[in-house]
Amino acid sequence: MLIKDVSIMEDGRLLRDVNIAIDGSRISGVGSGVADESGDGVVIEGSGMLAIPGLVNAHTHLAMTLFRGYADDMELLPWLEEKIWPLEAKLTAEDIHWGVKLGCLEMIRSGITCYNDMYYFMDETARATKEMGLRAVLSGVLFDMRPDLIEDAEPFIRRWKNDDLIIPAVGPHAVYTCSEETLSRALELAERHEVMLHIHLSETRSEVESFEKNCGKSPVEYLDSLGFLSDRVIAAHCVWLSERDISIIAERGVNVAHCSISNHKLASGIAPLDRLARAGANICLGTDGASSNNSINLFQEMKTTAIAQKCAHSRPDLFGAGEVWKMATENAYAAFGLDLGLRAGALADLSLIDLRKPWFFPLTEENIVSHLVYSAQGGVDTTIVGGRVLMEGGFIPGEEEILDRAQQQFGDLVAR
Amino acid sequence: MLIKDVSIMEDGRLLRDVNIAIDGSRISGVGSGVADESGDGVVIEGSGMLAIPGLVNAHTHLAMTLFRGYADDMELLPWLEEKIWPLEAKLTAEDIHWGVKLGCLEMIRSGITCYNDMYYFMDETARATKEMGLRAVLSGVLFDMRPDLIEDAEPFIRRWKNDDLIIPAVGPHAVYTCSEETLSRALELAERHEVMLHIHLSETRSEVESFEKNCGKSPVEYLDSLGFLSDRVIAAHCVWLSERDISIIAERGVNVAHCSISNHKLASGIAPLDRLARAGANICLGTDGASSNNSINLFQEMKTTAIAQKCAHSRPDLFGAGEVWKMATENAYAAFGLDLGLRAGALADLSLIDLRKPWFFPLTEENIVSHLVYSAQGGVDTTIVGGRVLMEGGFIPGEEEILDRAQQQFGDLVAR
Type of residue numbered A135? R
Integer Cα distance of B246 and B176 in angstroms: 20
pLDDT one-digit tens code per residue, B267-297: 999 999 999 999 999 999 999 999 999 999 9
Integer Cα distance of B19 and B34 in angstroms: 6
Closest residue in B to A295 (Cα) is B375
Whole-structure pTM value: 0.98
User: Are B163 and B126 in contact, with CB atoms under 8 Å apart?
Assistant: yes
3-state secondary structure B208-235: HHHHHHHHCCCHHHHHHHCCCCCCCEEE
> Which chain A residues contact residue B306 at CB under 8 A?
73, 265
pLDDT at B125: 98
pLDDT at B76: 81
A2-54+340-398: CATH topology is Urease, subunit C; domain 1 (2.30.40)
The angle formed by the CA atoms of residues B391, B290 and B368, to the nearest 5 degrees, is: 55
Q: For chain B, give me the number of helices (H) and strands (E)?
A: 16, 17
- Contact status of B362 with chain A (Cβ, < 8 Å): yes
List the beta bridge partners of residue A388: A385
3-state secondary structure chain A: CEEEEEEEEECCEEEEEEEEEEECCEEEEEECCCCCCCCCCCEEECCCEEEEECEEEEEECHHHHHHCCCCCCCCHHHHHHHHHHHHHHCCCHHHHHHHHHHHHHHHHHCCEEEEEEEECCHHHHHHHHHHHCCEEEEEEEECCCCHHHHHHHHHHHHHHCCCCCEEECEEECCCCCCCHHHHHHHHHHHHHHCCCEEEEECCCHHHHHHHHHHHCCCHHHHHHHCCCCCCCEEEEECCCCCHHHHHHHHHHCCEEEECHHHHHHCCCCCCCHHHHHHHCCEEEECCCCHHHCCCCCHHHHHHHHHHHHHHHCCCCCCCCHHHHHHHHCHHHHHHHCCCCCCCCCCECCEEEEECCCHHHCCCCCCCHHHHHHHHHCCCEEEEEECCEEEEECCECCCHHHHHHHHHHHHHHHHHC
- What Å distances lie between residue B130 and A177, B108, B170, B191, B288, CA to CA? 60, 13, 19, 26, 20
pLDDT at B377: 84
Provide the terminal-to-terminal Cα distance of chain B, rounded to the nearest Å. Answer: 47
With pLDDT > 90 as the criterion, what percentage of chain A qualifies?
Answer: 98
> Which chain A residues contact residue B311 at CB under 8 A?
263-265, 267-270
pLDDT one-digit tens code per residue, A120-146: 999 999 999 999 999 999 999 999 999
Which superfamily is assigned to A55-336 in CATH? Metal-dependent hydrolases (3.20.20.140)
| A329 CA: distance to closest CA in chain B (Å) | 20
> Which chain A residues contact residue B410 at CB under 8 A?
361-362
Q: What is the mean pLDDT of residues B252-278?
A: 98
- Contact status of A98 with chain B (Cβ, < 8 Å): no
| B321 CA: distance to closest CA in chain A (Å) | 7
Residue whose C-alpha is closest to residue B62's, from B5, B172, B141, B142 = B141
Provide the terminal-to-terminal Cα distance of chain A, rounded to the nearest Å. Answer: 47
Residues in B 11-70 with any Cβ partner in A closer than 8 A: 66, 68-70
Residue whose C-alpha is closest to residue B131's, from B413, B404, B412, B397 = B397
Integer Cα distance of A297 and B375 in angstroms: 9
Rg (alpha carbons) of chain B, rounded to whole number: 21
Closest residue in B to A313 (Cα) is B267
Please determine, for residue B51, whether its predicted confidence score (pLDDT) is greater than 90. yes
- What Å distances lie between residue A372 and A302, A359, B29, B379, CA to CA? 9, 9, 42, 17
Q: How confident is the model at residue A104 (pLDDT cuts 50, 70, 90)?
A: very high
User: Are B137 and B114 in contact, with CB atoms under 8 Å apart?
Assistant: yes
Where in chain B are the domains? Answer: 2-54+346-399, 55-336
- Contact status of A407 with chain B (Cβ, < 8 Å): yes
Q: Would the CB atoms of A266 and B304 count as touching at under 8 Å?
A: no
Q: Would the CB atoms of B295 and A102 count as touching at under 8 Å?
A: no
3-state DSSP assignment of residue B324: helix
Q: What is the mean pLDDT of residues B107-128?
A: 98
ipTM (interface pTM): 0.98
| A323 CA: distance to closest CA in chain B (Å) | 11
Q: What is the crossing angle of helices A122-132 and A147-160, to 10°?
A: 30
Q: How confident is the model at residue B392 (pLDDT cuts 50, 70, 90)?
A: very high
> Which chain B residues contact residue A69 at CB under 8 A?
362-364, 367, 370-371, 374-375
Local structure of residue B395 (DSSP, 8 states):
B
Which residues make Cβ contacts (< 8 Å) with residue A76, sequence separation at least 6? A204, A266, A267, A268, B316
Integer Cα distance of B131 and A197 in angstroms: 57
| A71 CA: distance to closest CA in chain B (Å) | 8
pLDDT at A249: 98
pLDDT at A379: 82
List the beta bridge partners of residue B382: B352
Integer Cα distance of A87 and B264 in angstroms: 36
β-sheet with B197-201: strand ranges across: B197-201, B233-237, B255-258, B282-285
Please return the burial class of A6, using the count of CB atoms within 10 Å of its CB with bins 0-12, 13-18 and 19+: buried
pLDDT at B378: 79
- Contact status of B77 with chain A (Cβ, < 8 Å): no
Integer Cα distance of A112 and A297 in angstroms: 8
- Contact status of A100 with chain B (Cβ, < 8 Å): no
- Contact status of A326 with chain B (Cβ, < 8 Å): no
User: Are B51 and B20 in contact, with CB atoms under 8 Å apart?
Assistant: yes
Q: Would the CB atoms of A370 and B293 count as touching at under 8 Å?
A: no
> Which chain A residues contact residue B209 at CB under 8 A?
none
Integer Cα distance of A335 and A337 in angstroms: 6
Closest residue in A to B105 (Cα) is A358
pLDDT at A77: 85
Type of residue numbered A353? I
Dihedrals phi, psi of B282, to nearest 5 degrees? -90, 115
Q: How confident is the model at residue A409 (pLDDT cuts 50, 70, 90)?
A: very high
The angle formed by the CA atoms of residues A394, A395 and A398, to the nearest 5 degrees, is: 145
User: Are A381 and B132 in contact, with CB atoms under 8 Å apart?
Assistant: no
> Which chain B residues contact residue A363 at CB under 8 A?
69, 407
pLDDT at A377: 84
Q: Would the CB atoms of B106 and A359 count as touching at under 8 Å?
A: yes
CA dihedral defined by B105, B109, B111, B112, rounded to 10 degrees? -20
Local structure of residue B57 (DSSP, 8 states):
E
pLDDT at A169: 98
Within chain A, what is the greatest distance between any pair of CA atoms? 64
Size of the A and B interface in Cβ pairs below 8 Å: 201
pLDDT at A76: 81
Mean pLDDT of chain B: 97
> Which chain A residues contact residue B268 at CB under 8 A?
311
User: Are A316 and B73 in contact, with CB atoms under 8 Å apart?
Assistant: yes
The secondary structure element, H or E, covering residue B37 is none
Local structure of residue B73 (DSSP, 8 states):
S
CB-based burial, B69-78: b 16+ in 10 Å, e otherwise: bbbbbbebee
| A20 CA: distance to closest CA in chain B (Å) | 26
| B44 CA: distance to closest CA in chain A (Å) | 22
> Which chain B residues contact residue A320 at CB under 8 A?
72-73
Pairing assessment for the beta strands A166-168 and A135-142 based on DSSP bridges: parallel
Within chain B, what is the greatest distance between any pair of CA atoms? 64
- What Å distances lie between residue B75 and A277, B71, B265, B267, CA to CA? 20, 10, 10, 9
Q: Would the CB atoms of A264 and B377 count as touching at under 8 Å?
A: no
Integer Cα distance of A362 and A306 in angstroms: 21
pLDDT one-digit tens code per residue, B331-374: 999 999 999 999 999 999 999 999 999 999 999 999 999 999 99
Pairing assessment for the beta strands B197-201 and B233-237 based on DSSP bridges: parallel
Integer Cα distance of B408 and B415 in angstroms: 11
pLDDT at B337: 98
Integer Cα distance of B374 and A170 in angstroms: 31
- What Å distances lie between residue A277 and A282, A312, B191, B342, CA to CA? 7, 15, 53, 49
Integer Cα distance of A247 and A279 in angstroms: 6
Integer Cα distance of A258 and A319 in angstroms: 13
User: Are B107 and B134 in contact, with CB atoms under 8 Å apart?
Assistant: yes
Q: Would the CB atoms of A361 and B102 count as touching at under 8 Å?
A: yes
With pLDDT > 70 as the criterion, what percentage of chain A qualifies?
Answer: 100
Dihedrals phi, psi of A204, to nearest 5 degrees? -115, 155
> Which chain B residues contact residue A105 at CB under 8 A?
358
3-state DSSP assignment of residue B51: strand
Q: How confident is the model at residue A222 (pLDDT cuts 50, 70, 90)?
A: very high
Q: What is the mean pLDDT of residues B375-401?
A: 96
CB-based burial, B390-404: b 16+ in 10 Å, e otherwise: bbeeeebeebeebbe
Q: What is the mean pLDDT of residues A153-159?
A: 98
> Which chain A residues contact residue B261 at CB under 8 A?
303, 307
Pairing assessment for the beta strands A350-354 and A380-385 based on DSSP bridges: antiparallel
Which residues make Cβ contacts (< 8 Å) with residue B100, sequence separation at least 6? B62, B63, B65, B124, B125, B128, B129, B132
Q: Least CB-CB distance to B263: which of A76, A266, A311?
A: A311
Q: What is the mean pLDDT of residues A58-64?
A: 98
How many CB atoms are located within 10 Å of the residue B335 CB?
25
| B409 CA: distance to closest CA in chain A (Å) | 9
Please determine, for residue B1, whether its predicted confidence score (pLDDT) is greater than 90. yes
Integer Cα distance of B413 and B135 in angstroms: 27
B2-54+346-399: CATH topology is Urease, subunit C; domain 1 (2.30.40)
Q: Would the CB atoms of B316 and A362 count as touching at under 8 Å?
A: no
